[in-house]
Amino acid sequence: MLVCRMLTMAGVMAQSISDPDIRSDFFYCQDDKLFRVVNKTDTFSYSARLQGGITDFDASNPFKILLFSAPFQKIYYLNHRLAPLSEECLLSDLGLGEVTCVCASKQGGFWVFDRWNGVLVRFDGQSQRVSSSENFSLLGLQQAEPVKIREVGNQLYVCCREQGGYRFDLFGNYIGPDPAMRPEDF
Protein backbone atom coordinates (compact mmCIF):
# COMPACT_ATOMS: atom_id res chain seq x y z
CA MET A 1 0.00 0.00 0.00
CA LEU A 2 3.06 2.25 0.21
CA VAL A 3 2.96 2.46 -3.59
CA CYS A 4 -0.67 3.64 -3.48
CA ARG A 5 0.22 6.34 -0.94
CA MET A 6 3.19 7.51 -3.04
CA LEU A 7 1.02 7.82 -6.15
CA THR A 8 -1.77 9.60 -4.27
CA MET A 9 0.72 12.09 -2.79
CA ALA A 10 2.02 12.74 -6.31
CA GLY A 11 -1.54 13.43 -7.51
CA VAL A 12 -1.80 10.27 -9.64
CA MET A 13 -5.11 8.43 -9.76
CA ALA A 14 -4.12 4.98 -11.05
CA GLN A 15 -6.67 2.44 -12.30
CA SER A 16 -4.49 -0.55 -11.47
CA ILE A 17 -1.22 -0.90 -9.55
CA SER A 18 1.15 -3.87 -9.38
CA ASP A 19 3.05 -5.06 -6.35
CA PRO A 20 6.74 -4.10 -6.43
CA ASP A 21 8.85 -6.63 -8.36
CA ILE A 22 12.14 -8.17 -7.21
CA ARG A 23 13.96 -4.91 -8.00
CA SER A 24 11.36 -2.79 -6.11
CA ASP A 25 10.04 -1.39 -9.40
CA PHE A 26 6.28 -1.18 -9.84
CA PHE A 27 3.79 -0.66 -12.64
CA TYR A 28 0.55 1.27 -12.78
CA CYS A 29 -2.06 2.04 -15.39
CA GLN A 30 -3.64 5.45 -15.90
CA ASP A 31 -6.03 6.12 -18.78
CA ASP A 32 -4.54 4.37 -21.84
CA LYS A 33 -0.97 4.36 -20.52
CA LEU A 34 1.13 1.86 -18.62
CA PHE A 35 3.88 3.28 -16.42
CA ARG A 36 6.90 1.56 -14.90
CA VAL A 37 8.56 3.33 -11.98
CA VAL A 38 12.22 2.39 -11.51
CA ASN A 39 14.10 3.17 -8.29
CA LYS A 40 11.08 5.20 -7.16
CA THR A 41 12.19 8.08 -9.42
CA ASP A 42 12.65 7.13 -13.10
CA THR A 43 9.53 6.40 -15.14
CA PHE A 44 8.97 4.59 -18.43
CA SER A 45 5.58 4.80 -20.15
CA TYR A 46 3.73 3.06 -22.96
CA SER A 47 0.63 4.44 -24.66
CA ALA A 48 -1.94 1.84 -25.71
CA ARG A 49 -4.45 4.24 -27.24
CA LEU A 50 -4.04 2.73 -30.73
CA GLN A 51 -4.35 -0.81 -29.32
CA GLY A 52 -7.77 -0.16 -27.76
CA GLY A 53 -6.55 0.88 -24.33
CA ILE A 54 -5.52 -1.27 -21.38
CA THR A 55 -8.26 -3.22 -19.67
CA ASP A 56 -5.80 -5.12 -17.48
CA PHE A 57 -2.12 -5.96 -17.25
CA ASP A 58 -0.03 -8.61 -15.53
CA ALA A 59 3.53 -7.66 -14.61
CA SER A 60 4.26 -10.80 -12.57
CA ASN A 61 7.14 -11.30 -15.03
CA PRO A 62 8.62 -7.79 -15.38
CA PHE A 63 10.53 -8.86 -18.51
CA LYS A 64 7.36 -10.04 -20.30
CA ILE A 65 4.41 -7.85 -19.30
CA LEU A 66 1.00 -9.01 -20.52
CA LEU A 67 -1.49 -6.34 -21.62
CA PHE A 68 -5.16 -7.00 -22.41
CA SER A 69 -7.53 -4.86 -24.47
CA ALA A 70 -11.14 -5.98 -23.94
CA PRO A 71 -12.64 -3.68 -26.62
CA PHE A 72 -10.32 -5.17 -29.28
CA GLN A 73 -10.23 -8.66 -27.66
CA LYS A 74 -6.46 -8.98 -27.92
CA ILE A 75 -3.38 -9.44 -25.79
CA TYR A 76 0.18 -8.33 -26.38
CA TYR A 77 3.46 -8.29 -24.50
CA LEU A 78 5.96 -5.58 -23.57
CA ASN A 79 9.54 -5.96 -22.36
CA HIS A 80 11.02 -4.39 -19.21
CA ARG A 81 11.51 -1.07 -21.05
CA LEU A 82 7.85 -1.15 -22.18
CA ALA A 83 8.67 -1.83 -25.82
CA PRO A 84 6.53 -4.34 -27.76
CA LEU A 85 7.91 -7.88 -27.65
CA SER A 86 5.79 -9.58 -30.27
CA GLU A 87 2.78 -9.31 -32.49
CA GLU A 88 -0.57 -8.99 -30.80
CA CYS A 89 -2.73 -12.06 -30.35
CA LEU A 90 -6.37 -11.75 -31.39
CA LEU A 91 -8.33 -13.90 -28.98
CA SER A 92 -11.02 -14.65 -31.56
CA ASP A 93 -8.30 -16.40 -33.64
CA LEU A 94 -7.93 -18.85 -30.73
CA GLY A 95 -11.61 -19.82 -30.86
CA LEU A 96 -12.64 -17.75 -27.87
CA GLY A 97 -15.92 -15.88 -27.47
CA GLU A 98 -15.96 -12.80 -25.25
CA VAL A 99 -12.92 -12.72 -22.97
CA THR A 100 -13.42 -10.60 -19.85
CA CYS A 101 -10.11 -11.11 -18.01
CA VAL A 102 -6.64 -12.54 -18.57
CA CYS A 103 -3.42 -13.20 -16.67
CA ALA A 104 0.04 -14.55 -17.31
CA SER A 105 0.86 -18.16 -16.52
CA LYS A 106 4.08 -19.16 -14.77
CA GLN A 107 4.41 -21.97 -17.32
CA GLY A 108 4.96 -19.39 -20.06
CA GLY A 109 1.55 -18.70 -21.51
CA PHE A 110 -1.64 -17.10 -20.32
CA TRP A 111 -5.07 -17.77 -18.82
CA VAL A 112 -8.38 -16.27 -20.01
CA PHE A 113 -11.96 -16.35 -18.83
CA ASP A 114 -14.22 -16.91 -21.85
CA ARG A 115 -17.55 -15.44 -20.80
CA TRP A 116 -19.55 -16.84 -23.74
CA ASN A 117 -18.48 -20.39 -22.98
CA GLY A 118 -18.24 -19.87 -19.20
CA VAL A 119 -14.78 -21.46 -18.91
CA LEU A 120 -11.21 -20.69 -17.90
CA VAL A 121 -8.67 -21.63 -20.57
CA ARG A 122 -4.88 -21.84 -20.32
CA PHE A 123 -2.70 -21.38 -23.41
CA ASP A 124 1.00 -22.15 -23.70
CA GLY A 125 3.69 -19.81 -25.07
CA GLN A 126 2.73 -20.72 -28.66
CA SER A 127 -0.96 -19.87 -28.01
CA GLN A 128 -1.98 -23.53 -28.04
CA ARG A 129 -4.82 -24.56 -25.72
CA VAL A 130 -3.35 -26.62 -22.86
CA SER A 131 -6.16 -26.98 -20.33
CA SER A 132 -9.55 -25.61 -19.41
CA SER A 133 -12.05 -25.68 -16.59
CA GLU A 134 -15.52 -27.16 -16.63
CA ASN A 135 -18.27 -24.74 -17.57
CA PHE A 136 -18.96 -22.51 -14.56
CA SER A 137 -22.68 -23.43 -14.68
CA LEU A 138 -21.79 -27.11 -14.29
CA LEU A 139 -19.66 -26.18 -11.26
CA GLY A 140 -22.61 -24.36 -9.66
CA LEU A 141 -21.04 -20.98 -10.37
CA GLN A 142 -23.62 -19.73 -12.90
CA GLN A 143 -23.87 -16.33 -11.17
CA ALA A 144 -20.09 -15.79 -11.20
CA GLU A 145 -18.88 -12.82 -13.26
CA PRO A 146 -15.06 -12.86 -13.05
CA VAL A 147 -13.39 -9.44 -13.13
CA LYS A 148 -9.80 -10.51 -12.34
CA ILE A 149 -7.77 -13.69 -12.52
CA ARG A 150 -4.23 -14.27 -11.24
CA GLU A 151 -1.96 -17.29 -11.01
CA VAL A 152 -0.27 -17.38 -7.61
CA GLY A 153 1.83 -20.32 -6.51
CA ASN A 154 0.15 -23.47 -7.78
CA GLN A 155 -3.34 -22.04 -8.00
CA LEU A 156 -5.42 -19.78 -10.20
CA TYR A 157 -7.51 -17.24 -8.29
CA VAL A 158 -10.70 -15.98 -9.90
CA CYS A 159 -12.17 -12.84 -8.37
CA CYS A 160 -15.81 -11.90 -8.89
CA ARG A 161 -17.27 -8.55 -7.97
CA GLU A 162 -20.37 -9.87 -6.16
CA GLN A 163 -19.54 -13.44 -5.15
CA GLY A 164 -16.00 -13.11 -3.81
CA GLY A 165 -13.45 -15.47 -5.29
CA TYR A 166 -12.79 -19.02 -6.37
CA ARG A 167 -9.67 -21.16 -6.53
CA PHE A 168 -8.64 -23.54 -9.32
CA ASP A 169 -5.57 -25.71 -9.82
CA LEU A 170 -3.25 -25.19 -12.79
CA PHE A 171 -5.20 -27.74 -14.85
CA GLY A 172 -8.44 -25.79 -14.47
CA ASN A 173 -9.96 -28.05 -11.79
CA TYR A 174 -12.21 -26.27 -9.30
CA ILE A 175 -10.83 -26.33 -5.74
CA GLY A 176 -13.35 -24.20 -3.88
CA PRO A 177 -14.61 -20.75 -2.94
CA ASP A 178 -12.63 -17.95 -1.36
CA PRO A 179 -15.37 -15.53 -0.20
CA ALA A 180 -12.90 -13.11 1.41
CA MET A 181 -11.28 -12.27 -1.96
CA ARG A 182 -12.01 -8.83 -3.46
CA PRO A 183 -10.89 -7.22 -6.77
CA GLU A 184 -8.67 -4.80 -4.80
CA ASP A 185 -6.73 -7.79 -3.44
CA PHE A 186 -4.99 -8.15 -6.75
CATH number at residue 103: 2.40.10.500
Q: What mean pLDDT comes out for the span 68-97?
A: 93
Polymer length of the chain: 186
Residue 127 lies in a domain: yes
Bridge partners for 67 per DSSP: 57, 76
Q: What mean pLDDT comes out for the span 90-108?
A: 94
Residue 140 lies in a domain: yes
Query: How many domains, the chain?
Result: 1
Q: What mean pLDDT comes out for the span 160-168?
A: 86
CA–CA separation, 148 and 50 (whole Å): 23
Q: Which residue segment(s) compose the domain that 139 sits in?
A: 88-185
Residue 39 scores a pLDDT above 70: yes
Residue 69 lies in a domain: no
Residue 125 scores a pLDDT above 70: yes
Residue 21 scores a pLDDT above 80: no
Q: What is the pTM of this model?
A: 0.83
Q: What is the pLDDT of residue 32?
A: 87
CA–CA separation, 55 and 163 (whole Å): 21
CB 16 within 8 A of CB 23: no
Q: What is the pLDDT of residue 173?
A: 95
CB 45 within 8 A of CB 55: no
CA–CA separation, 7 and 10 (whole Å): 5
Q: What is the rounded (10 degree) CA torsion for 4, 5, 10, 11?
A: 70
